[in-house]
Structure 1
Amino acid sequence: MGLARLAELHGVATGYAPSPGSDAPVPDDTVVSVLAALGVDASTPAAVSAALSHAESAAESRLLPPTLVLWSPPDGAGAGTGAEGARAEEGVDRPLPAALTALPAGSTLRVEVEHWQSARGETVELPGVAPVPVAARVPTTPSAWARLPLGVHRLSAEAPDGRTEHAVLVVAPERVPQAPARTHGFLVQLYSLLSARSWGMGDLGDLAELATWSGRSLGAGFVQINPLHAAVPGAPTDPSPYRPSSRRFPDPIHLRIEAVPEYAYVHGPDRERLDALVEKAAALREAVLGKRPDTETGRTGEYGELIDRDAVWELKRAALEILDRVPLGPGRHADYCDFLAAQGRALEDHATWCALTEVHGSRWRDWPEGLRDPRSAETSAARARLLDRIDFHCRLAWLTDGQLADASRAAREAGMAVGIVHDLAVGVHPDGADAWAQQDAFADGISVGAPPDAFNALGQDWGLPPWRPDVLAASGYAPYRGLLQGLLRHAGALRIDHVMGLFRLWWVPEGQPPTHGTYVRYDAEAMLAVLALEAHRSGAVVIGEDLGTVEPGVREALERRGVLGTSVLWFERDWDGTGRPLPPESWREGCVATATTHDLPSTAARLTGEHVELRHRLGLLTRPLEQEQSDEHAEVAEWLGCLTRLGLLPGGDGDEEETIRAVYRFLLRTPARMVGVWLPDAVGDRRPQNLPGTWDQYPNWRLPVADARGRPMALEDLAASPRLHRLAEVLRHA
């Protein structure tokens, strides 16, 4: 009983529901391990008793929680972005956090307003709020609470007995920004979209071209891409964009080398070396696109020449070393200095980790002991020795930021209603820069995953360390705020992978199978408030990937804050009734509607059943092939019947291309705010970009976009594709 109560006080679950209507207990040793990762000793009954006594005593004596949230009504307080523009109108309801109304009578509050919002850095006195009930109306004369601008402020409370505590007060808009109108756009893994100018994988120049072409010529309102987070270097590098070194900074592998301004000013022997690299890059690109064989590797096989991230980075890194020797002009240098100042210690830590990996390898836990601590004297000395290399990596971050800005500007100038939709991975690699720089914020000896469910009896372990909710709250969610600010700098929208992680995550203790994990809860209100605030500041739409196991109330909470969900055609059924395909008018409005994702079969593969055959060849089926094929055929036939009844497929089971167009006609009939077209669907690509459950059995994250026969297609080929334009006509007419 004591362990269960202790776990409850720290947000650790002692049971979960693997399927609706069923309950499963969490092993006690799992609870003990998870509490240990939160700094709580529960290893013995005596330790549990002591920890419980301490936790309950602290809760009773605490004046304020570490972080509080004050929601700002949409048309009242906080309507503007500055301190003056954020003043409330008279008579606006602004419910106060319950923790404030529970303060002892006679308590005094002081708020130091965040300088980001208030040029004067004013201090607002808030005396005697205890008698004010939560639902009270703000007085008709402007109150101090109503005058608080949007932002992250410092709150101090002094009780009559002299106790004083400090907290962070997040004043956030009630909803994130919304897309200005119903719109459609493309979903694509950027690395898979090569052009005649990229160096063996898609880059930020290709992203700008795609946005300009699809926005101007096809009326697309957005382009959604995979995470561009920095990867962990290695041999080979993990190609998954969802297991990065850092989510805070993008990977310079996405740079378009020729678009770096200093490229034009390389002369002499360096120009000869640079030109030789350009020629090698052309050969690498042409090998991937099948224009000519790669004579060095001679690679052949079922999937053709794969995207080789390590080979691309070897060439780009050599080119960037040359460009780094070109002095910056006065204007460029001033811009670089401003970037360094704005990014501060976060960038210095990231660049230091990058420089240290060049000397000691990418596994920072194997470094000399002193260097494992980013704040140690040994690390400080290493910073001084490696100053040139640290500056090199800072400069790469600056260059990448500049090209991200260029792509965003290209999308806006093309008339896109939303623009570039960036993606936030659910976590970071345990050996990466973020895990090194923010060790106190991550739970040691824990990885994130998913519990057993009806689709996966073994559960999942993603190998990503989770943030500690207690440390986040104590810091005022500083790591989370910094992450969002970096990602939203040049984003028209942000997609959050596994958005349920804002509420709870499945923690798996090191050495245990995923079945021996448990849920740990986060302060969802604070997480959503910070998200709403930062999205408001950048004017960005927010999309949550809410597929899979979603606890009751999560989708409703996200909808209340204006966060769009993700609805995939094949999953949208009347689960509470007939189980049949959900008619288009019954879909939710607040979502991105799509036919597939990077983790699912393409629409062509689904319609033809080729994805079942692929899984059979790789030994991934859990039932006989004939049974899998029969069930798949029945599901597809049911959807085809639905499309036919709605008049979207007049000829019945038409040809593949016409059926794919009918699928997107269906999506356009839904009220979904955004409709996403998987770009490979537009040319009949059969191959998934990622096949869950595989590692080296399938070339995950390394395939270029290809046509129906598996021939790679460059961006120029896509732009000229009659098949793509026939699908675009469907979108344009809608």
Structure 2
Amino acid sequence: MTSPLIDKLVDLKGVESNYIDAWGKPETVSEQSKRKLLSVMGYEVDNEDALTAQVETEFQQIWMSPLNPVQVNRENEALFIAVRLPIELVNDNFIISIDCENGSSLEQKFVPIDGDLINATVIDEIEFQEYLININHELPLGYHHLKLLADDGDQIATMRMIMAPTSCYHPQSVLDGKKVWGLSVQLYCLRSAKNWGVGDFSDLAQLVESSAKNGAQFIGLNPIHALYPANPNACSPYGPSSRRWLNFIYLDVTAIDGYEHESVQELVNQAEFKSVLDYVRNVDYVDYEAVTRLKLRALESVFEVQNNQYLSKNTKQNKIFKKFVQEGGDSLQMLAVYDALQEHLAAQGKPSWGWPVFPKEYANFQSPAVSKFIKNNAKRVKFYLFLQWQSALQLEAANQVANQNNMSIGIYRDLAVGVSEGSAEIWGNKDLYCTDASVGAPPDVLGPLGQNWGLPPMNPDKLYQQQYQPIIDLFDSNMKSAGALRIDHVMALLRLWWVAKGDNAKNGGYVYYPVDDLLGILALESQRHQSLVIGEDLGTVPEEIRSKLADNGVYSYRVFFFEQAKDGGFYSPAHYPVQSMSTLTTHDMPTLSGYWHCHDLELGKELGLYPTDEILSVLYTSRHENKQEILNSLHGHHSIPDWIDNKVDQLGMSKELNYCMQTHMAAGSSALLSLQLEDWLLMDKTVNIPGTFKEYPNWKRKLNRELEHIFTDPEIVNLAKNLTKAREDAS
């Protein structure tokens, strides 16, 4: 069925019909794909009568609501609100009452007809009119509560009024033109003499201090979102259970008060425990199952100590813990319950990978059966709340190390684009998500077949109805204990590539989001937390989002290997936007050594990522040509010694070439330069291969050197000095 109603819905719901692909070519979204996307939003596209009734109901609901749910304004704009009322009321007196976040209150009397009439309709023979009313007060930045009152004071409707700044936060040193560098690292990759088989928050603190003493101004992390204690092999940091909370696996158990208690020491000194600890430390890939089992056993023992000594009594520690839980609200409680419930089901041998397979009575956080479970398992829920508390404390301790070492940015965190299908976040707010779809990407350079990330998208309409609270919470929580936030796939603020369940990624379509509202909220939270914002704008990027991001103070993400002119030459880093973070590679790309020796192409062939040998052959030819152009650029800028061969045919990746490429980037114009620790250590294996699941050990590979020995290497120390000098010279 094709109908004007379908076409109208496609436009109203922000489903894009045409787009420009990653190679600059126009593409058209099929009619079938658009219909499927409307279907996953909940529309009865195969029943015209039912669809007509749905659309009419929505239309009437909007007109029956005197105010919109939420409105985002910028501090430099005139302030108006829309008011919808039956025609018989538009000559009456009304009051706008605004309760500001800072505790102040404002009032304004008005008559609707004195405003500008902007719309009208008839519902059940009653005319409704919509007026634009000017708010003649200046509101402070923040989240405010606006009420529409009758002349006698009766409340008619409410809305959230958000006042946002014009731009995200910039550190003063960056505003002054200082150019800085830092290291990016997947936290779990860190090896150390003391960690338990996975990098932890104490390792992070040590890396922060060592890096700062060698000139770094920030440490960039992978997403450290909460994953699944009862399903540890679901280890992708980009497929979390909750983006608001932390992954307890990064806890340094030995640093928690109570670890030295004899009951804990008896456990960790058992021969079997020590044997597993030795194994997880020495294995080259993180064994998430073994690490999780080990840490949970020790953390349970430490919790028993704290619970007995502090958390069951009227102590200072318990007051702090209770305050943390109270401030975490329903979101924190929901995650703790989810973790305890998933663990409970797994222990009984019941399906438990995520809420879609939970027993029916547990399918919703709000169900009576879940309430009963909470009551019967209160201590276990408290244990998972305790883990989040301790994680927050340890992350903040690492953040304080950055502050003490006067890093201009410090820790920068990474916000994943979504949560996985079976996540706690969806379990607690199913109305918000379209669970019959996933986000991903159309075919591009990184994924020639397109990508399906298995992350159900938020429904833009539901997000609006929920007054943007889920987005506010995300930005707020991920800017804590950090000086910057990197937003993965920042184009999601404008549009996301939706793929209906069961479809190939290339058959998806773009759905648009309220980008100006979301950027306003981002700017507000950025200024509140004094957190610089970096937007990962790689792949299929419309120019409109790049310009919007720049205007809103978001730093672009510039990867050297993608910065090519039409003739194949590589742009000089001196020509990158100042308001950007530049880098050589990313976690989704090969390391410098891997790129130079084509390890990624070899792996891709083994894993069947390329549909034909012809495609692979083109990629090899392109790689050879690109390497030659890189050499040309390096020699042309005198960034490498003359004795290094200027012909790529016989030139392998050496430490000299590796380090010269890094200092070449340091001389560039980007305010921020991020370098991967793997490239400092000349590693060749990649962290993640996009488009793979079980074919490659994604998110598990460790560094090849212990943290304690990295900054004792004179050549690495010298590299850091050269980077610092190059950045100073470029400032």
Please indicate, yes or no, whether the TM-score normalized by the shorter chain is above 0.5: yes
1:265-315 deviation line (CA, Å, top 9, x unaligned): x12x54211333773464135422xxxxxxxxxxxxxxxx32111111111
How far apart, CA to CA, are the structure 2 residues paired with 1:131 and 1:206? 63
Question: CA contact under 8 A between 1:42 and 1:51: conserved in structure 2?
Answer: no
The question of 1:733 aligning with 2:722 is answered no
1:17-73 deviations in whole A, cap 9, x for unaligned?
445342313233x33333233333332233344444445555667654322111124
Q: CA deviation at 1:657?
A: 1.8
Aligned-partner Cα distance in 1 for 2:207–2:144: 41
1:691 to 2:686 alignment: no
Query: Any conservation in 1 of the 2:29–2:509 contact (CA below 8 Å)?
Result: no
Counterpart AA for 1:44? N
Query: What whole-Å deviation, never above 9, does each CA across 1:425-478 have from its counterpart, x for those lacking one?
Result: 111111121111111111131111122457645422111111111111111111
Segment of structure 1 superposing worse, 610-619 or 561-570? 610-619
Does 1:2 pair with 2:5? yes
2:675 aligns to what?
677
Q: How far apart in 2 are the matches of 1:412 and 1:422?
A: 15
2:41 aligns with 38
Contact 2:325 2:332 in 1 (8 A): yes
Determine the structure 1 residue equivalent to 2:302: 323
Relative to structure 1, is the Cα distance of residues 145 and 189 closer, same or farther in structure 2, using a 3 angstrom cutoff? farther
Matches within 5 A, 1:264-663: 264=260, 266-267=261-262, 269-276=263-270, 279-280=274-275, 282-288=277-283, 305-326=284-305, 327-329=308-310, 330-361=315-346, 362=352, 363-453=354-444, 456=447, 458-575=449-566, 578-621=567-610, 622-623=612-613, 628-651=619-642, 653=644, 656-663=654-661
CA pair 713-513 structure 1, distance change in 2 beyond 3 A = same
Equivalent pair of 1:15/1:26 in contact (CA under 8 Å) = no
- Between the aligned partners of 1:72 and 1:612, the Cα distance in structure 2 is 50
Aligned position for 1:300: none
SS at match of 1:733: helix
The corresponding residue for 2:26 is 22
Count, aligned residues: 674
CA contact (8 A) 1:340 1:347 kept: yes
Distance in 2 between residues matched to 1:542 and 1:101, nearest whole Å = 37
Partner residue, 1:192: 189
SS in 1 for 2:203: helix
Counterparts of 2:580 and 2:316 in 1: how far apart (Å)?
43
State the alpha-carbon separation in 2 of the partners of residues 39 and 328 from structure 1: 51
Q: Residue 95 of structure 1 aligns with which residue? A: 78
Separation of aligned partners in 2, 1:671 and 1:107: 58
Look up the equivalent residue of 1:212 and give its one-letter code.
E
Tell me, in whole angstroms, the C-alpha distance in 1 between the residues paired with 2:576 and 2:80. Answer: 34
What's the offset of the Cα at 1:411?
Answer: 0.9
Instruction: Name the structure 2 match of 1:177.
Output: 169
- Match of 1:167, SS state, is strand
Whether the 8 Å contact between 1:373 and 1:436 is mirrored in structure 2 is yes
| Contact in 1 for aligned 2:421/2:435 (Cα 8 Å) | no
Conserved in 1, the CA contact under 8 Å of 2:63 and 2:84? no
User: Contact 2:169–2:530 at 8 Å: present in 1 too?
Assistant: yes
User: 1:721 Cα shift?
Assistant: 2.2
CA distance in structure 2 between the partners assigned to 1:559 and 1:416 by the alignment: 24
Aligned residue for 1:531, secondary structure, equals: helix
Q: Please, what is the CA RMSD of the aligned residues?
A: 2.8
Q: Percent identity?
A: 31
Moved more, 324-333 or 651-660: 651-660
Matched residues in 1 for 2:73 and 2:573: separation?
37
Contact 1:412-1:419 at 8 Å conserved across structures: yes
Are the counterparts in 2 of residues 232 and 431 from structure 1 also a CA contact under 8 Å?
no
**Aligned match of 2:221:** 225
Residues 22 and 688 (structure 1), Cα distance of their counterparts in 2 relative to 1, 3 Å cut: same
Give the Å deviation of 1:325: 1.1
Looking at structure 2, the residues matched to 21 and 720 of structure 1 have their Cα atoms a distance apart, in angstroms, of: 50
TM superposition shift of 1:99: 4.6
Q: Which of 188, 202, 205 is residue 205 of structure 1 equivalent to?
A: 202
**1:296 counterpart residue number:** none
Cα deviation for residue 400 of structure 1 reads 0.5
**How far apart in 1 are the matches of 2:273 and 2:718?**
36
What displacement does 1:579 show?
A: 4.2
Aligned amino acid, residue 207 of structure 1? L
CA distance in 2, matches of 1:623, 1:493: 43
Distance 1:412 1:686 in 2: 33
Are 2:557 and 2:580, in contact at CA under 8 Å, matched by a contact in 1? yes
CA offsets 1:324-383 (integer angstroms, 9 cap, x no match): 111344222221111111112211111111111122233222223222121122211111
Change (3 A) 1:366 1:196: same
Question: Whole-Å Cα distance in 1 between the matches of residues 364 and 321 of structure 2?
Answer: 28
Q: Which amino acid aligns with 1:623?
A: D
Q: 1:122 aligns with which of 82, 94, 105?
A: 105
CA–CA distance in structure 2, aligned partners of residues 173 and 523 of structure 1: 17
Alpha-carbon displacement from aligned partner over 1:118-175 (angstroms, at most 9, x marks no partner): 1x35244364698789xxxxxxxxx975531211122234699x99543221111111
2:180 touches 2:216 (CA, 8 Å); kept in 1? Answer: yes
Q: Secondary structure at the match of 1:489?
A: coil
- Residues 281 and 672 (structure 1 numbering): CA distance in 2 closer, same or farther, change over 3 Å? farther
- Is 1:110 aligned to residue 110 of structure 2? no
Amino acid in the other structure paired with 2:687: Q
- Tell me the secondary structure at the aligned position of residue 485 of structure 1: helix
Letter in 2 for 1:274: V
Tell whether the 8 Å contact from 2:413 to 2:478 is kept in structure 1 after alignment: yes
Alignment of 1:65 with 2:68, yes or no, is yes
Post-superposition CA distance 1:213-251 (Å, at most 9, x none) = 111x21111000101111124566122111111111101
C-alpha distance after superposition, 1:615-651 (max 9, x if no partner): 3444444436665433212101111111111111131
Call closer, same or farther: CA 1:196–1:431 in 2, change over 3 Å.
Answer: same
Code of the aligned partner of 2:365: P
Question: Deviation string for 1:184-218 (max 9, x for gaps)?
Answer: 10000010011111001100100000001111x21
Structure 2 gap segments, 5+ residues each: 117-133, 347-351, 646-652, 727-731
Checking the alignment, whether the CA contact within 8 Å between 1:27 and 1:516 is kept in structure 2 is no
Residues 189 and 2 of structure 1, relative CA distance in 2, 3 Å threshold: same
Query: Quick one: structure 1 residues 463 and 639, their matched pair in 2 at CA, closer, same or farther if it must change by over 3 Å?
Result: same
1:710-732 C-alpha deviation (Å, 9 max, x unpaired): xx211012122233223212112
- In 1, the alpha carbon distance for the partners of 2:42 and 2:96 equals 31
- 685-694 or 221-230, which moves further after superposition? 685-694
More moved, 482-491 vs 183-192: 482-491
Once the two structures are TM-superposed, the CA of residue 680 in structure 1 deviates from its matched residue by 0.8
State the match for 2:712 in structure 1.
720
Cα shift at 1:484: 2.0
Aligned partner of 1:294 in structure 2 is none
Q: 1:13 to 1:106 in 2, by over 3 A?
A: farther
Give the superposition deviation at 1:15. Answer: 4.0
